[in-house]
A = this chain, B = another copy of it.
Amino acid sequence: MAVTKIEGGVNSAAGFKTCGLRAGIKAGKENKDMAMILSDVPASAAGTFTRNLVKAAPVKWDSMIIENKKTVRAVVVNTGFANASTGAKGYENSKRTAEKAAEVLGVETEEVLVASTGVIGVQLPMDTIFEGIEKLSNALSYEKTAGDDAAEAIMTTDTHSKQAAVSFTAGKEKCIMGGMCKGSGMIHPNMGTMLCFITTDCSIDRDLMQDILRKVVNDTFNMVSVDGDTSTNDTVILLSNGMAGNKAITESSDEVEKAEFEEALRAVCQSLAIEIARDGEGATRLFTAEVKGASDEETARILAKSIITSNLTKAAIFGKDANWGRIMCAMGYSGASFDPDKTDIFISSKNGELKLVENGVTTGFSEEKALEILGADEITAKCDVKDGDKAAVAWGCDLTYEYVKINGDYRS
């Protein structure tokens, strides 16, 4: 496999400039709060969006553009306010954001995607947004630092910015794909619940790219949960501008070539998805659930997600408590079918692996060893339901005092 992780992010692929800076939307003196991505040439665009019935205005705007299969030149992102539950005026404000960027950048309004994140129900401060767009257009750059700035500018309660990039080949050409995303509350299955922007210089048929994106998002971002709440603003955008010069990948291309593109996208998305889970609000631990031996993939997915979503299990992981009963219980109420009396449960970390449960009952494991394993900052629960050969992985985090603190006091 020629997919290789590299240093970089959303402007690593050829022909993408980015920037991030403080426009003055968010309270606090220093936080960056706006980012921009510009492709030198029209890029084909794929996207997946929140399945929440309450869709933010920018989600409605972007969905319209993606559904119309338009090419895209730029993306404008703001934090501070989500522009959700803002009615007709909110949609108008998303459109005006695109119009302003189009005017400043010399592109079409419908070539501009927008994204917002932050407090729900408040109108965007348009004067500040407009000033921000002017500043952004002057700061665009191919430099790595400009990618770093963009990744930083889209953060809300994230404790660090999140980027990933890979190199791969298409035909004989070397291609780059890179992305950035933000978490870290309202993170739950049903469209990973975050903002994520990925760019590539690889040329690929737009519909094929959309299909691959949907599939990969399903296995990565949609298998992450921080708190069970699905946001109104979830957005994953993938832009491809073809500047690598490869012959466009199409449905009829060689399977190996299609697989390599998918593998590249999976590497970027999985890396970003894990970073979102690890950086869940208040989280101190990455908590992964691997389910195997399921009769079908959907069963494995439901079981894995139920484990990492259970508040009681998450609190136990925070408390380094090998409380496997809560894992079994979470599988039991997931709605998926399995036989508890055949199920084995292990915990695993860099400090070792321990079988807690065999065929539904305790192994009489060493609590001391369990405590040692649970002392690591990346914990995996492995469950074998011995009912088939399908598997799934889900990523979450522990539930901590800090989560409550962050969310009890978010607006103030």
A: residues with CB less than 8 A from B are 51-55, 82, 84-87, 89, 119-122, 185-186, 188, 190, 227-232, 309-312, 315-316, 318-319, 321, 323-326, 328-334, 337-338, 340-341, 357, 359-362, 399-401, 403-412
| Distance from A396 Cβ to chain B, minimum over Cβ atoms (Å) | 12
Contact partners of A318 in chain B: CB under 8 A: 404, 408
CB of A60 to closest CB in B, whole Å: 12
How many Å lie between the Cα of A410 and that of B331 in the bound state? 20
What residue in chain B is nearest A359 (Cβ atoms)?
A: B87
Residues of B within 8 A of A309 (CB): 228
Select the residue from A89, A190, A228, A359 with max chain B CB neighbours within 10 A: A228
**Contact residues in B for A362 (Cβ distance below 8 Å):** 85, 121-122
**Nearest B residue to A231, CB-CB:** B329
Q: A408 and B52: CB pair below 8 A?
A: no
5 examples of A-B residue contacts, CB within 8 angstroms: A53-B337, A120-B329, A121-B362, A229-B311, A321-B411
Contact A312 B185 (CB under 8 A): yes
Partner of A85, one of B231, B310, B328: B328
Partner of A86, one of B82, B337, B361, B408: B361
Does B52 contact A121, Cβ atoms closer than 8 Å? no
When the two chains form their complex, are residues A407 and B315 in contact, meaning their CB atoms are under 8 A apart?
yes
Asked, given contacts A85-B361, A315-B408, whether A229 binds B310 with beta carbons under 8 Å apart, the answer is yes
- Give which listed residue, B52, B122, B404, contacts A315 with CB less than 8 A: B404
Indicate if the CB atoms of A325 and B84 lie closer than 8 Å. Answer: yes
CA distance A132 to B70 in the complex (A): 74
Q: From residue A81, how far is it (CB to closest CB) to chain B in Å?
A: 10
Judge whether B407 and A316 touch: CB under 8 Å: yes
B85 touches A338 (CB 8 A): no
A121 touching B404, Cβ below 8 Å: no
CB distance from A356 to the nearest CB of B (A): 9
Query: Given A53-B331, A85-B361, A312-B185, does the pair A321, B409 have CB atoms closer than 8 Å?
Result: yes
Nearest CB of B to A91, in Å: 11
Q: A53-B338, A87-B360 are in contact. Are A329 and B410 (CB under 8 A)?
A: no
